[in-house]
Chains A and B, each alone.
Chain A
Amino acid sequence: MRLWTGVAAFLRERFPLEKMNLHDMVEKKTVPIHKLRWAYFLGGLTLLFFSILAVTGLIMLFYYEPTVSGAYDSVRYISHQVPGGSVIRNLHAWSSSCMIACVFLHLFTVFFMKAFVKPREITWLSGVILLFITFGFGFTGYLLPWHQVAVNATKVGLQSIGAIQDYLPGNFKDLPGQLIHVIQGGDSVGQATLSRFFVLHVVVLPVSILTLLGLHLLQIQFHGMSQGVDRPTGKSEAFFPDFIVNDLRVWAVFFVVMFIIALCIPFESLFGYPLLAPFDALGSTPDGIKPEWYFFFAYYPMELVPFWVILVATTVVGAVLFFTPWIFANTSRRTLRFLAFFAFLYLVVVTVFGEPITLLIKGH
């Protein structure tokens, strides 16, 4: 009984419904001004990139064909024949990378600004789930063009789940294999996988992300912006219209830059041709199969250290992410900055230098 009244009290504090009106949620809200104020734009920027993705993705759906025989050609058709198609597709591909980068930065900044403490636990938790959904978008979208990297990287990604079986007790040994089978919808990556990933990418994940985004933003409007620094300057600007106008300015700049990039640099120029050839089930896998850069932080370590280390590390990081609001409730911002710095350093080093480091250590 005590437990349930506790839960109710917790929720009452996180969802102050009496504040559910324009005055409390919009008119009264202010955004602090201090030297970290740029961090307040990162969440909005993520939202911008998501909007670009949703619009361009929807537009591509008019031509994209989620079949093994048609996917590759339909994507080619979009980017080479349909007027304006290449811009749309490039916008989608570039924005997906930008969205992931923004989520990372957003996560780090809200972490070291200590924006997750009471009463913002739910903001943080919904954020963590948003992070996983975003990764889900990246993983499922990557398969859709059905070229060599797409299919093979997906195979490798899925197979790595299978490596867990060595650490499971007897009865559960089959579990990872069955899980892979369910995800693939068959013995190997094929039409069933494409259909599943397609539905996940364009229906299930968009609906989930919109729902959680609603919760995330509702929480943010309920609780207002966190102070973010130890010694607030006392200065602030009104959320509406000042912060919104600034937000729009940032959006405008990034949109223009994004558009120019999409116009000038095909996303595909980052790969060599054999990787972009249509997937060939009978041939050998071409050299250089890699997941998207935003999975490097898990991919390179997997080649270097024993799998159980990865397993333990993932579990710990996952748990820490979920319980951050409670674990770090009493940690100072200085310490948080320190931790965030090292985590960020790890991400940057592994993402940028993962390949040479791996080659160096393996001695090839």
Chain B
Amino acid sequence: MFDLFFFGVLPYLALALCLVVGILRFTVKRFSYSSLSSQFLEHRTLFWASLPWHLGIFAVLLGHFAVFLFPGFFRALLADHRILLAFEATGLIAAFISLIGLALFTVRRVFSGRIQSVTTTMDLAVLVLLLLQVGLGILTATLQRWGSLWATGVLAPYFDSLFRLQPDLALVKDLPFIIKAHAVLAFVIVGLIPFSRLIHMVSLPFTYIPRRLQIVIWNFRRRKDLVERAALEDESRRQFLRGATGVGIGAVLIGVGTLDKVVPFFKGPDLTKEEREELLSLKVKKLKATAEQKALELERMQSETLFVANLKDLKRDSGTYFIDYQMSPGLAFLDAAGLPLLYSAKCPHLGCTVNNKAEGGLVVCPCHVSHFRVADGGRVDGPTPTGLRTIPHLLKDAKGALVTAPEAARLGEYQVFIAKGERS
């Protein structure tokens, strides 16, 4: 019942009033087509109220009309969440700017004595309605978010049905209360246009924004210089405004872009189950390796001898890495007689780890290319001051007994150890 009146009858009523009375007024009392200027009564607040209000509401209305007129285009455009964010943010900022202007208008109308005398009841009513409307708009934008997107699917078809003279109330039936109130108030305001100063908007040319402000001044001769100065001031103000608008738009874009990156950064990635498993298993592996490292360290503190390798696993041209008592890397080779050759793999130059591949009986430190002989660890060339330090070894047999005189036939069963106190 209410829906039928507010959304089926009121829109037509408002439009009819607006058109009929508007046209009447245009033909009968032509010069009343303006918002009666109160500038010469008070102009400072007027400027700071008028400017934000008109800029803000112009942007907001433009956004509304654009979405209602081209719903398909905007649905596609706003599907990208960054564009949606930028669009909504711009709209919201514009709404707040217009709200500031309105608030100043209200203050001026209510508290300035001179203005009071030219203020009609209708002026006040319009102000209150507009305040309400902008407030409802801001509430809609914040409580029922992404209006520019859902409006393409709900409100745009409704307006379409209005213009086809078959209002489809089903579309608006379930809308939340604030949105309904916002729409109804819009119809009311449209209906009031011809009865109030709002009528001046139809005389508004589109160059209104960058146009020079109309300056109303008492018509005295001595005020002439004042006109010129005001014109100049106005000029620089308009330059500043244009710059500020550009900077503002840029700031919104940069702000949205940055937030678009920064917020997800702190939210962290959305990982699939596999990715999370992979990360966790990697972590476990690393922790195990670290634990092993610590165990080695502990072992080196506690035991008197350290296992290096089985003798049969050592080679002549490729060294086996091991960790000595200083937790530094060592290299184990085999000599011509089949006995172990142990060196510290820490390069005496600046401490890089020497490569374990022997070529032509030489190993190389890759950092600054020093060569060492495998046979005795001696320096061949490069910046290293000395050769590799040899580390004495111990041999134990399969039963763990120390071997003092190795037998050539049993070499395969020996194990190589180093003893504590053999620093590298």
Contact = CB atoms under 8 A, between A and B. Distances in A.
A187 B264 contact: no
Given A281-B293, A282-B321, A286-B366, A87 B350 contact: no
A155 B329 CA distance: 14
Contact of B262 (A84, A283, A364): A84
Contacts of A155: 350-352
Contact of A289 (B262, B265, B345, B367): B367
Interface stretch (B164-172, B203-211, B281-289): B281-289
B290 A289 contact: no
Contacts of B279: 73, 77, 81
Instruction: Give the interface size class of chain B.
Output: 35 or more
Contacts of B323: 282
A160 to B, nearest CB: 6
Contacts of A160: 350
Given A81-B269, A84-B265, A69 B366 contact: no
A362 B267 CA distance: 53
Interface in B311-333: 321, 323, 326-329
B355 to A, nearest CB: 5
Contact of A284 (B262, B353, B369): B353
A156 B352 contact: yes
A302 B368 CA distance: 10
B274 interface: no
A81 B275 contact: yes
Given A69-B289, A73-B286, A284 B366 contact: yes
Contacts of A287: 366
A282 B292 CA distance: 12
Nearest to A161: B350
Contacts of A152: 352, 367
A289 B351 CA distance: 12
A289 B352 contact: yes
B361 interface: no
B356 interface: yes
A59 interface: yes
A69 B286 contact: yes
Interface SS, A side: loop
Contacts of A289: 352, 366-367
A83 B352 CA distance: 37
A55 to B, nearest CB: 10
Interface residues of A, number: 36
A188 B353 contact: no
Contacts of B366: 284-289
A317 interface: no
A303 B269 contact: no
B69 to A, nearest CB: 35
A81 B275 CA distance: 10
B418 to A, nearest CB: 16
A159 B351 contact: yes
Given A285-B352, A289-B366, 20 more contacts: A59-B262, A59-B265, A69-B286, A70-B283, A73-B279, A81-B271, A81-B279, A82-B265, A83-B264, A84-B264, A155-B351, A156-B352, A159-B350, A188-B327, A281-B293, A282-B329, A283-B321, A284-B321, A286-B366, A287-B366
Interface of A: 59, 62, 68-70, 72-73, 77, 81-85, 87-88, 152, 155-156, 159-160, 162-163, 187-188, 281-289, 303, 362, 364
Interface of B: 261-262, 264-269, 271, 275, 279, 282-283, 286-287, 289-290, 293, 321, 323, 326-329, 345, 349-356, 365-369, 383
The list of the 3 closest CB pairs from A to B, nearest first, reads A83-B264, A159-B350, A84-B261
